[in-house]
Amino acid sequence: MKYRTIGGAGTTRREVSVLSLGAMLFGTLTDEETSYAILDRYVEAGGTFIDTSDNYAFWINSTQGGESEKLLGRWRRSRGIGDEIFIATKLGARPLAPGTGYIDNPEGLSAKVIRESAERSREQLGVEKLDLLYAHIDDYTTPQQETVEAFGELVGEGTVGLLGVSNQWAWRIERARNLAAAAGVPGYEVLQYHHTYLRRRMDLPSELSPDGAPGATGGDLLSYVREEPGLALVAYSPLLGGAYVRTDKTLGHELEHPGTHTRLKALHMVAKETGATVNQVVLAWLIGAEVPCFPLVGASSVAQLNESLAAVDLELTAEQRAKLDEAG
């Protein structure tokens, strides 16, 4: 395993594994025995960075979520896991009632929700302190000042370590960070966004915004992270749910453009040269990119996880990386 520092200067700065494990479906579609086996293998391989959310996975059984956090709490207790494992969770997108969703009925980012949701997550995970807490989605109904100060208070009280953000436009992140600096409280330091080798169209409307997908990594977000070395980028869905390699999975309409074919051709060429799988090349490309990131991978079996773990040791040559970078 390889490791990289996450967070700025101070007591919350941590060294974590470059490959993060997503626990989204643990406790729902992935049963407890399989989830434990995947988690155990990840830790055995040196993995230390696990990701979940307070709303995972509400859509499976029409609940409000929490199944993933609860399973991680049971696993931690059964294995005697302490603060050597860094667990990130999120709040803001938990449905307010069973059978609803985060688009039409989210909990939002009010001060009251932030405090109550963080406390619930600490209880479900069985931890005194949340290592990393994200604002899962944006909330235009709550003043950013209120959100920023509420998150900052939790850090000041010692119940939260690092703060992160997901699914918000870059300008909203910058505004929130400026508000935090002006108020003298910690701001967002970790950005979790959809990022992969293929480039998606950024002009298509999404569920979250008619202007596009605020949760997708585009040039504005990458340039922002490049210019702000104190920020860390976590890339969710880097393997497109298996669509790189599975014929029964489609890439999606946002990837239907000429550049996709060119980049896929380069990707397969490099995979052939290295003897690695296409998925492994994607992960290695992300880990060693000019704007480095932490790929966040899911797994429904130990075999799937092992494939991703092997990507950590895959070293692309300068020529191979140039071939990938310049395609499309």
What is the span of the domain harbouring residue 214? 3-326
User: Quick one: pLDDT at residue 27?
Assistant: 97
Alpha-carbon gap, residue 28 to 18, rounded angstroms: 26
Q: Strands, DSSP E only, in 59-129? A: 86-91
Alpha-carbon gap, residue 309 to 42, rounded angstroms: 8
Residue-wise pLDDT for 19-63, tens only, equals 999 999 999 999 999 999 999 999 999 999 999 999 999 999 999
Q: Strands, DSSP E only, in the chain? A: 3-6, 14-17, 20-22, 49-51, 86-91, 130-135, 160-166, 190-194, 232-236, 294-297
What percent of the chain lies above the pLDDT cut of 90? 88
Residue-wise pLDDT for 274-307, tens only, equals 999 999 999 999 999 999 899 999 999 999 999 9
Q: What is the CATH number of the domain that holds 291?
A: 3.20.20.100
Mean pLDDT of 8-15: 76
pLDDT band with cut points at 50, 70 and 90 for residue 11:
low
User: Quick one: pLDDT at residue 9?
Assistant: 61
The count of structural domains within the chain is: 1
Q: Is the pLDDT of residue 316 over 90?
A: yes
Determine the residue type at 143: P
User: Quick one: pLDDT at residue 204?
Assistant: 85
Residue-wise pLDDT for 78-122, tens only, equals 999 999 999 999 999 999 999 998 888 999 999 999 999 999 999
User: Quick one: pLDDT at residue 234?
Assistant: 98
Helix (H, G, I), strand (E, B) or coil at 288: coil
Mean pLDDT of 151-164: 97
Q: Is the pLDDT of residue 164 over 80?
A: yes
Neighbours of 110 (CB within 10 A): 18
Residue-wise pLDDT for 224-251, tens only, equals 999 998 899 999 999 999 999 998 888 9
Q: Which residues contact 200 (CB under 8 A, 6 or more apart)?
A: 194, 213, 216, 252, 254, 255
Where do we find the tokens 């001060």? 111
